[in-house]
Amino acid sequence: MSKDHHGNQVDEAYDSGLITEVLRPAAVVPEETARSILIELSLNSVHADGVWFAEPSRWNRYDKPWTLLDAPGDAGLIGTIQVAYGTPRRYDITIYRVSVTTLGSELGWSVQSLTDDALGLAGLTLAECPRTVLDVPPKPYRY
């Protein structure tokens, strides 16, 4: 959740200032780095005075730790990194979409800086991150 200009909680889907970028080709976090990032996300969880809330398909970055156990309270959502575990190889993590909320933009965050913040937990940046290999599309079918 982010906040609107009145300070009310707004679902990310209704954030008109949302900036979303689909990473093409997608970034692939190799196994060792992926393991380090997942450990650091856990140690920097919103439930442990950190700013990350990691779910199976996305990592959410908040502006401050949650004050409630099961809800953000007055913490504002900076952005979301959508991930797929176990692809392209078993223990890799693929980052394929990154979104920055209006609040995140107002605080100076970008797709690049949000992604670098997460990857930086293991000493990696988006620019250094390996990318998926895009296959050549098949030739069109002809009768």
Whether residue 1 is contained in a domain is answered as no
Whether residue 117 is contained in a domain is answered as yes
Residue 130's φ and ψ, nearest 5 degrees, are: -60, 155
> Minimal CA–CA distance to 38: which of 89, 108, 98, 95?
95
Whether residue 35 is contained in a domain is answered as yes
Whether residue 143 is contained in a domain is answered as no
Distance of CA 67 to the CA centre of its chain: 21
Whether residue 54 is contained in a domain is answered as yes
Whether residue 71 is contained in a domain is answered as yes
| Structural domain for 31, as ranges | 17-122
Domain count, the chain: 1
Whether residue 99 is contained in a domain is answered as yes
Whole-number Å distance between alpha carbons of 54 and 120: 15
Per-residue pLDDT tens, the chain, 143 aa: give them: 444 443 444 455 557 778 899 998 999 999 999 999 999 999 999 999 999 999 999 999 999 999 988 899 999 999 999 999 998 889 999 999 999 999 999 999 999 999 999 999 999 999 999 998 766 677 787 76
